[in-house]
Homo-oligomer: A and B are copies of this chain.
């Protein structure tokens, strides 16, 4: 017997319809690549998204076809998010930090019919345009006045021209909520990038879960600024969460340096933000150097890489900002866990609460997780046992686009490639990527713990810990450090810094100082490149 409630598919367009009807006057503020500040409302967004949906149809885009973007966080990118998915096509957000070869590969693999791009990326488009077979149109996300005459892209179209040719009389179509909505490629360290194909259903459910108090806790009273790019897993869902909740949305464009961000935080009254740890380092450095404070920001979601506990403490103690430490993956839409408190925590000490905030957090409702040993047996949640982390849920991947790489699941669970431990309260701590684990004498050493300790040293700007060959133990930890400018620290001081903070045998065997640690397209440290460059390194203990 079925229930007798209304049947309405969970569609991405419904988020925008809700925003237009119930938050029509709420603002969306964008820093344009042209440098100025653009300001309009959800009502304007909805109207222009409908016009763009008609423009896409006029370009010959049909439901199910892919439409690519190479763009910063800005209002035109938002319009494409809703115009493309809302009309039944698939939005393919391309990471512009990838190599042109990879972008050409991805665009053809996705069979992108159209690629929209911010003017920043014109040189990239010039490098890619001749090489893709699928793409029929390139559209510059600007107006005619800002389009250079010598753009060298054959048949280049102009975004505002496309809009000007349409009116906004358009009804969002209704269709099966399992229809594909958007596509995001993972920048794997080996092999070709693989696409994750989200559905309207998975996206809307993730949006609802992501806005819950124990995730981002986003409401209509918030002013949210996603530093995390819209080309990086839909800015962790904020492009959907803000319209759903009616939050004011502030989009920073290309201005991701500390000064540009800080000015936008203050001028727009930002209460909630989200980004990777490296972005916050730049922002905090600027704020520190200029003796500034955050007058409205109260919460900052940090993920993408583990956030060093020292940063969580500094945000809280110095700036009164609660870090929402979160974990997820492209394959998970992306949010899986967030470090929020339980009812027993408010009475605990600051140190105890900081320990909770430093974990990757608890699973959101909708996500289940488990850790398993090498034979696949489930391990206890005792805060000690660590093993491969597996997840499942309605916004977690079942298979990659075009079934690249075959069936990724194990008995219905997705193996994350992370190694983790989970405590009795369900708080999960990533101890390593499985490929980054250091295996010393048959025992695992988690590189992230070692990095977090190094990052707490005042002289350290960035730290990575990788396995180095050891004739007796097979592998031993080697610490790679970027020093802060103008600050000195010795190998011995750094190694002594580990005393009492960790088991003696976990202490790195040596320290290497470098000018920079290679970062991937999504800002994560590329430890495989570090390992390659250090593969002949001879430990002094060897």
Interface residues of A (CB under 8 A from B): 1-8, 10, 15, 17-18, 21-26, 64, 90, 176, 178-181, 196-202, 205, 208-209, 211-214, 217-223, 244-248, 269, 271, 333, 340-343, 345-346, 362-363, 365, 368, 392-401, 412, 414, 424-426
Contacts and interface: CB of A to CB of B under 8 A. Distances in A.
Contact of A244 (B269, B365, B401, B425): B365
Given A212-B212, A221-B342, A343-B220, A1 B247 contact: no
Nearest to A66: B1
B394 A25 contact: no
A514 to B, nearest CB: 40
A6 B197 CA distance: 11
Copies of this chain held together in the complex:
2
A213 B208 contact: no
A269 B347 CA distance: 11
Contact of A200 (B3, B22, B201, B343): B3
Contacts of A201: 3, 5
A220 B356 CA distance: 13
A394 B14 CA distance: 12
Contacts of A397: 4-6
Pick the most buried of A3, A248, A365, A398: most chain B CB atoms within 10 A of its CB. Answer: A3
B211 A18 contact: no
A494 to B, nearest CB: 38
B368 A21 contact: yes
A384 to B, nearest CB: 17
Most buried by B among A8, A17, A333: A8
A204 to B, nearest CB: 9
A272 to B, nearest CB: 10
B343 A25 contact: no
16 contacts: A2-B180, A4-B399, A5-B398, A6-B414, A7-B178, A8-B393, A10-B394, A15-B365, A18-B368, A22-B362, A22-B363, A205-B208, A208-B209, A213-B219, A220-B342, A223-B343
A486 B397 CA distance: 67
A217 B213 contact: yes
A222 B220 CA distance: 21
Contacts of A7: 178, 394, 398
A179 B221 contact: no
A5 B199 contact: yes
A343 B90 contact: no
Q: Most chain-B Cβ atoms within 10 A of its Cβ — which of A198, A213, A345?
A: A213
Contacts of A2: 176, 178-180, 199
